Structure 1
């Protein structure tokens, strides 16, 4: 008898840097769809009522670290996974490279998310990306479609979409997760500190 399909899982993803170059990182935020409203509200309630879109690269690091600390203190830690994935410099088409990085990051995230669902195999995953010039061209789509058909855990992704991050606080949270590796590069903290203080896992 085939295993019962799990409830929908959402993976929000944003980037810091440019695919193919040094300093390119992806941030992923994974949760069950049924928990998304609660987690969105926790993050949104930490912001000023008049706050516009959160762009981590445009804000003070001290403010961002405080925001991330308060979010992790309030978050349902057994229902969310935060991943910061560093992507090595490589040659090639930026859209295809971005796609490859997304595939690998989703696979890492789903592997860590097994503990949330208490199951080995995860399907019914919707991937939601911030639309940008690196992921709006055919090589990106082709890379993801090939992985959906052939590539291990990524075959659990049933749908992917691109939206403007201004429409989603959870994409803005993913942007902050992507940006957070800067604090390690600048030696403000190490990987252990990033996980303990903010819940951000680094593969």
Structure 2
């Protein structure tokens, strides 16, 4: 990493490390970001601040090794720094899954990409055949998919609706057509289409029948 020198408006000489722009502190990591740790590509699934009674603030993280699909919980110091992973994306269509591999196609070039299902297990709970998503690349390596903010899924199974129920009730679990379980209002019935937030796996609103 090299030092770069430049002058500000008052002609003072300022130095900074050129490598700093490729680094990110643990305190700035957010769900969905990808960074490099010990040569491994790591994706942040969840991040939160935690301050023990008498200790220093730490970052509680749920992380995934992008290449193996393994997930784990850890804590990091807020000032720990990691190399940013520069991720490119391309819009593709999900075709099908066969032999534990998901197949996706570029609708412009018709190139097909294969991703092991165990590395995108959580994302697959939101995807239906022919749905468009973004495939993620680290250089030429396909490393995962990026979901839209919300998706529309059909309720496959849930308890019968409760007469007079409102959206402010405690709700009930509903199993969607992909196997995803979502907490929904008591008035929701099996067969309905729902809009679901992909970041939180939460009910947004009805989307028809």
* TM tier, smaller: under 0.3
RCO greater where, 1 or 2, for CA within 8 Å and sep 6 or more? 1
Q: Which has the higher helix share?
A: 1
- TM norm structure 2: 0.20
- Give the greater-gyration-radius structure (CA): 2
